[in-house]
Amino acid sequence: MAAPMLRWGCRGRRWAFARVDGGSCHRRGAPTGSTSNQIRGESSVAQQPLHTAQKTRKGEHKWAAVVGLEIHAQISSNSKLFSGSQVRFSAPPNSLVSFFDASLPGTLPVLNRRCVEAAVMTGLALNCHINKKSLFDRKHYFYADLPAGYQITQQRLPIAVNGSLIYGVCAGKKQSQVIPKTVRIKQIQLEQDSGKSLHDNLRSQTLIDLNRAGVGLLEVVLEPDMSCGEEAATAVRELQLILQALGTSQANMAEGQLRVDANISVHHPGEPLGVRTEVKNLNSIRFLAKAIDYEIQRQINELENGGEILNETRSFHHKLGCTMSMRDKEGKQDYRWFMPEPNLPPLVLYDATSLPAGADPQQVINIDQIRETLPELPSVTREKLVQQYGMLLEHSFTLLNEVGLLEFFQNVIKETRAEPKKVTSWVLNTFLGYLKQQNLAVSESPVTPSALAELLDLLDSRTISSSAAKQVMDVKNRNPRAINKLIGLVRKATQSRADPVMIKEILEKKLSL
């Protein structure tokens, strides 16, 4: 058979460390990109220690929950997995559709090199075995937004298998201790995204937008090694950070770049696993935790009341906060059937030992070469933060989990003479506290890293006191009454010789209000 033909797509951003999300969802009310502490705080069921929550009423048996995840991450690439159409969020409907994407008869798939590299890179970062030969399959189902009637995916032999993801769960009295946990990764497969159906119920019409049809996805299958919503949420957050650090996916859940389905069952420890349900439609980390914990509790209640669990697909209704059976044919049909994709030869990858002499570097992908270009992963970044600045591990988690916070922190560190520990404390407590209070993302902060650095310098040189510095922060954060306190301080310092109006003018100018 012929060698796989690869298109050259330009690389997306490689090193997207602590990327600032452009989505609006993070801003108001629902801090999805929050610290693990907060995820926990927001998931009502998980707030109680799980073993108590899962005890039967009679107290005879404990219940244990088993959670596995299927995660779809949209690959950050300029063009789609098998066609040359652009990939862009929120473009006008059907403006990014090639003949292949619309499944015009006679069109054929051509594999995008960038997507393969992204899959290899992700596989390596997740400690996977990279298969030097992988295959493509067709998965068939009739769906209006799946124009060909099948999705090209990797069923039989995926590109990466047998990996692991290490994430940290907070524990201890004040949730201040981080316990590392591992979830096994079954496989990572390359596949096509579908288009979008927009249902206009008023006119009983369905409108189809194919812009997303054919965008490359990484399906990451996590083994059922998790036991509650928080663990699942934390694992997903860690994966999100890794994908963003690699630049292989923007992994923004609000924009659908990261989508999670959860397989959930409960059983008594030591007994066989229970019947599982699949919960779909989990489009934020917060809802993910909520939905899983709800579903665990629902299954326990069902079983304790003598009911049985059906092997079914359920959807999480985020307004009602519960999961509901999808009485949809798709659930029952169990994705009808697979067939090898005959238009794509096996995808063959090479390493330093297998690379054929004189191979055209544009036509081959070298795993070892990709390994060498792997950027720093979040776990390493955290370790460095702990070593370099002497901060606690959980602080390093918070710095990475909050979008844009690490960059902010590093910029402050660069510009100030203040002790790293002081900077850490100011950034994580005072600064982040203000942001949370005001419901702002780091990118929306009125305080720049330079301003905070200058403030910390003044504090460091004992020019101002700690309380004065906090008041400056208050003013910077648009607290109108705060400036009066500062005026008072200046008047005190000048022994009431200065004109309050002038002081106010000068202060406002200095604080660039």
* Minimum distance, C-beta of residue 279 to another protein, in the bound complex (Å): 23
272 is a contact residue toward another protein (CB under 8 A)? no
Both ends of the chain: CA-CA distance in Å? 68
One residue of 179, 180, 304, 337 binding another protein per CB under 8 A: 337
Site string for another protein, 188-227 (x = CB under 8 A): ------------------x-x-------------------
344 is a contact residue toward another protein (CB under 8 A)? yes
Which residue, among 249, 366, 365, has the nearest Cα to 7 in the 3D structure? 365
* Minimum distance, C-beta of residue 99 to another protein, in the bound complex (Å): 6
105 is a contact residue toward another protein (CB under 8 A)? yes
Rounded Cα gap, residues 413 and 409, in angstroms: 6
One residue of 22, 133, 144, 463 binding another protein per CB under 8 A: 144
Rounded Cα gap, residues 239 and 242, in angstroms: 5
Rounded Cα gap, residues 390 and 234, in angstroms: 24
Provide the residue type at 130 as one letter.
I
Nearer to another protein, 82 or 431 (CB): 82
Nearer to another protein, 37 or 94 (CB): 94
**Which of the ranges 34-42, 338-346, 367-375, 446-454 carries the binding residues for another protein, by CB under 8 A?**
338-346
* Minimum distance, C-beta of residue 213 to another protein, in the bound complex (Å): 10
* Minimum distance, C-beta of residue 110 to another protein, in the bound complex (Å): 6
140 is a contact residue toward another protein (CB under 8 A)? yes
What residues contact 205, with CB distance under 8 A and at least 6 apart? 199
One residue of 28, 332, 336, 384 binding another protein per CB under 8 A: 336
157 is a contact residue toward another protein (CB under 8 A)? no
Strands 337-340 and 322-325: unpaired
Which residue, among 280, 239, 255, has the nearest Cα to 25 in the 3D structure? 255
- The answer to whether 95 touches 116, Cβ cutoff 8 Å, is no
One residue of 23, 31, 109, 229 binding another protein per CB under 8 A: 109
What residues contact 505, with CB distance under 8 A and at least 6 apart? none
275 is a contact residue toward another protein (CB under 8 A)? no
Rounded Cα gap, residues 293 and 282, in angstroms: 13
Strands 347-348 and 337-340: unpaired
* Tokens linked to 401: 């989990």
Rounded Cα gap, residues 159 and 370, in angstroms: 14
* Minimum distance, C-beta of residue 331 to another protein, in the bound complex (Å): 15
Contact residues for another protein, defined by CB under 8 A: 1-5, 7, 99, 102-111, 138, 140, 142, 144, 147-150, 206, 208, 329, 334, 336-339, 342-345
